[in-house]
Chains A and B, each alone.
Chain A
Amino acid sequence: MHFSIDLILAQMMLGLSVGAFYAMLSLGLAIIFGLLNVINFAHGALYMLGAFVALIGYDYVGPWFGFDDFHLGFWPALVVAPILVGCFGMLLERTMLRRLYQFDHIYGLLLTFGFALILQGVFSNYFNISGTPYGGSPESLSGIANLGFMYFPKYRLFAIIFSIAICVATWFVIERSRWGALLRAGVEDAKLVQAFGINVPLMVTLTFGFGVGLAALAGVLAAPIYSVSPLMGANLIITVFAVVVIGGLGSIKGAIISGLALGLIQGLTKAIYPPAAHTVIFFIMVIVLLTRPAGLFGKE
């Protein structure tokens, strides 16, 4: 057997663009988990919701209000979707999730699992399960870029760079800014931070909204690449869980790095041995569990 270098490079670049989505989703999960100790099972569904905000904004909103020519474009959707979905997430946290903090953490998981089912069910009723193509892909990013060593779709390149930028910016805010310092202090000892006059419950709500907003942002970013389908998040989220286990839940850095790296590895597997592409991340998870149960970047 021999493999062409071009094919491997191409698959690795494609893998990296998938990894960019893993990184954004696992980053959101890690932020939410850090402060709330909740694993948000609805994260995939909220990613799906983000993509649907883009789709509905482009195709449906205009006609609903009688402006047939109105299309909410890709760039506005990139701002609108995270805000809308983030607000929806904050509502969820305020009205329901908050009641469960006093109980075992698994109840948070089960509640969000229920929400994922509800959201998927609702959208499955109104939209095609096998997916609807998104018409609002930006003109400026269509076509193919020459990377020197290969040709690559411009949009995917943008998606990689954009999500890495978002991830790095998030990391910077959390690790280096005053707001991030408060957040980390809140993770360590919520009572103490509250005693300093910080409104911790509000901080928790905003953080949840931010994490959820990241999922929605990833959803909008995914809309031009994949077709928008009610189950797009469900299929992704389990892989992202494995990514999170590999990276170590407590770590922001771990979520970003392992997300990108595992996307790359998945792409590589697709080039070398395609049938294993779906399972390779899970097998890596097994190996990590055997050697470093806390995850590559996690602390016990």
Chain B
Amino acid sequence: MNRILWILLIAFGLLAPYAIYPVFAMKLLCFALFAAAFNLLLGYAGLLSFGHAAFFGGAAYITGHVIKEWGFPPLLGILAGTLFALILGVIFGKLAIRRKGIYFAMITLALAQIIYFFANQMAFTGGENGLQGIPRGYLFGFIDLSKPLAMYYTVFAIFMIGFLIIYRVIHSPFGQVLTAIRENEPRAISLGYNVDRFKLIAFTISAALAGTAGATKSIVFQFAALTGVHWSMSGEVILMTLVGGMGTLFGPVVGAFAIVFMYSELSTMGSWIDVIIGTIFVLCVLIFRRGVVGELLRLVELRGHRSKQQNIES
């Protein structure tokens, strides 16, 4: 099953700009990376962060600033944004992992709100207007990123690197320990694991990759805005993960595609879109907790069981 999804993802990634508008395809990939990074924390470590907008939107501002004002090349700019998100992740993580569960969510939300107010007040962010006119520049000094295809494949490469990092983390002993902490924290502690350290590292990786996604998006769209650091962005990434299936590798990617696609389809509906998003939230939580990919995997597993049983009977 996972092999099919890998093939689908890579095929989509390679062919997308020929089938859909390249900027839209890049948007899909940026949000997919954001959601996948978020899922590393929620799905595997069991920590619900309500403040990931701070990393996503904050990194976008930093990347935009260093490229526009300091003349950084694009990759170095993205790296700067990622580094910012990583440092912020360490700070937020150190504070938030002092509490668990609902408290953790509330603390991350409140911390992210500080970043929102800073973004609103500081001069370099442009406040309500946002940071506009970020030049795309030249990759390695000679590939012109203002050409849509060049930009697209750069974004795709960044997405794949981020996604492979997440894959590696999940399928490493480190990832196994994270899952163990999610399932039974006291037992993980009694087995001698330094639980807080694992949580902090997971939080930091997740924050940094969310930053990469935000930084990349700021180059694609050539601006960074307040919506990126607003709490509703933190809510959106939760929804993407929930719809796709938390704790599955491909779920967040599917969820991000679905939600971004839905937003663009319903963009003319004004505030009704909030009502629709809220309704999806409610339905997901009440009856669809596994998400699309989660349900799919379960279906495959059930069928596997059934055919095995039939084999035994015959």
| A106 close to B121 (CB less than 8 A) | no
| Interface majority SS (helix, strand, loop, mixed), chain A | helix
Q: From the candidates B106, B114, B280, name the one contacting A241 in the complex (CB within 8 A).
A: B106
The answer for the CA separation of A125 and B242 in the assembled complex, in Å, is 26
Pairwise interchain contact A96-B111, C-beta atoms closer than 8 A: no
- In the complex, whether A275 has a CB less than 8 A from a CB of chain B is yes
- The range of chain A's interface size is 35 or more
Cβ-defined contact, B242 with A110, below 8 A: yes
Assess the A117–B235 pair: CB atoms within 8 A. Answer: yes
C-alpha gap A107/B289 in the complex (Å): 9
Closest A-chain residue to B279, C-beta based?
A: A118
Among B64-72, B200-208, B251-259, B267-275, the stretch that binds chain A is B267-275
The answer to whether A115 and B95 have CB atoms under 8 Å apart is no
A81 at the interface (CB under 8 A from B): no
Among A37, A104, A125, point to the contact of B272 (Cβ < 8 A).
Answer: A125
| B282: contacting residue among A105, A115, A238, A245, CB under 8 A | A115
Q: Is A166 on the interface with B (CB-CB < 8 A)?
A: no
Specify which chain A residues have a CB less than 8 angstroms from the CB of B121 in the assembled complex.
275
| Cβ–Cβ contact A111 & B281, under 8 A | yes
In the docked arrangement, what's the CA distance between A10 and B285, Å? 46
CA–CA, A279 and B110, complex, Å: 10
CB nearest neighbor in B for A275: B121
> Inside 8 A of B224's CB, which chain A residues have their CB?
none
| Contact code string B100-120 (vs A, CB < 8 Å = 1, else 0) | 011101110111011001100
Assuming the contacts A106-B48, A109-B105, A245-B107, asked whether A117 and B277 have C-beta atoms less than 8 A apart, the reply is yes
Residues of chain A within 8 A (CB-CB) of B15 are none
Q: B8 interface residue, CB < 8 Å from A?
A: no
B168 within 8 A of A: no
A238 and B109 in contact (CB under 8 A), knowing A245-B103, A289-B95, A293-B99?
A: yes
A299 nearest CB across to chain B (Å): 13
User: Are B107 and A117 within 8 A (Cβ)?
Assistant: no
Distance in angstroms between the alpha carbons of A285 and B108 in the assembled complex: 11
Cβ–Cβ contact A285 & B285, under 8 A: no
Does B41 interact with chain A (Cβ within 8 Å)?
A: no
Q: Is A35 an interface residue (CB 8 A)?
A: no
Q: Knowing A117-B277, A125-B272 touch, does A238 contact B231 (C-beta < 8 A)?
A: yes
Q: Report the interface size class on chain B.
A: 35 or more
CB distance from B204 to the nearest CB of A (A): 18
Q: Tell me, in angstroms, the Cα distance from A242 to B282 when the chains sit together.
A: 25
For residue B210, CB closer than 8 A to chain A, the reply is no
The reply to whether B105 and A125 contact each other, CB–CB distance below 8 Å, is no
Distance A245 CA – B104 CA, assembled complex (angstroms): 10
With a CB–CB cut-off of 8 A, which chain B residues contact A293? Answer: 98-99
* Residues on B with beta carbons closer than 8 Å to the beta carbon of A170: none
Residues of B within 8 A of A120 (CB): 271, 274
The reply on B304 being an interface residue by CB < 8 A is no
Q: Can you list, as one digit per residue, whether each of A284-298 has a CB less than 8 Å from chain B (1) or not (0)?
A: 011001100100000
State in angstroms the CA–CA spacing of A245 and B96 once bound together: 11
A201 interfacial by beta-carbon distance below 8 Å: no
Beyond known contacts A119-B278, A249-B103, A285-B110: 5 more, CB 8 A cutoff = A106-B101, A118-B279, A121-B275, A283-B114, A289-B98
Can you list 8 residue pairs at the A/B interface with Cβ under 8 Å? A114-B279, A117-B275, A124-B274, A245-B103, A279-B114, A282-B114, A285-B110, A289-B95
Q: Which 4 A-B pairs have the closest CB atoms?
A: A114-B281, A121-B274, A117-B278, A118-B278
